[in-house]
């Protein structure tokens, strides 16, 4: 599985921890590369573009609230970026929405929670069925 990952300064520490946690996957780090102040769109757009083009199976984006990166990523056609702050939301984002980018709110969860949420997100399949019809109506 190929995963694109990116974060702003608020998510930098979490991004680094997740890269180590996901060592068995093929990961591309789109930055930021330090905890110095950085603008989340500078990382959300490249991750979303890479997933949108099919270069990566999934994306993971991290900022303080998860909102900025999700709003930015969801501007891309074919991207379904979901903010998840617990494992139940991660599971539903995959099962019901076929989310392809996980957005994590670093200021509201621990690194351990981020790892658990990521694990559930990456290992949950889309259910399809009635959900496929709904997902097909998202992009126009």
Positions marked catalytic = 63, 96
**Locus of tokens 């680094």:** 16
CA distances to 39, 66, 91 from 99, in Å? 23, 15, 10
Mutual angle of helices 111-122 and 87-97, in 10-degree steps: 20
Quote the CA–CA distance of 1 and 69 in Å, as a whole number.
22
Quote the CA–CA distance of 10 and 62 in Å, as a whole number.
8
- Contact between 81 and 93 under an 8 Å Cβ cutoff? The reply is no
């Amino acid at each position: 599985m190929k995963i694109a990952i990116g974060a702003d300064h608020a998510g930098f520490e979490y991004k680094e921890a997740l890269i180590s946690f996901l060592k068995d996957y093929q990961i591309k780090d789109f930055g930021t590369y330090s905890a110095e102040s950085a603008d989340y769109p500078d990382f959300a757009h490249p991750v979303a573009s890479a997933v949108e083009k099919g270069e990566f199976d999934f994306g993971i984006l991290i900022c303080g609230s998860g909102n900025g990166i999700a709003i930015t990523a969801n501007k891309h056609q074919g991207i379904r970026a979901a903010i998840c702050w617990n494992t139940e939301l991660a599971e539903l984002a995959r099962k019901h929405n076929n989310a392809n980018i996980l957005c994590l709110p670093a200021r509201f969860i621990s690194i351990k929670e981020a790892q658990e949420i990521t694990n559930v997100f990456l290992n949950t399949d889309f259910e399809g069925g009635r959900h496929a019809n709904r997902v097909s109506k998202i992009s126009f």
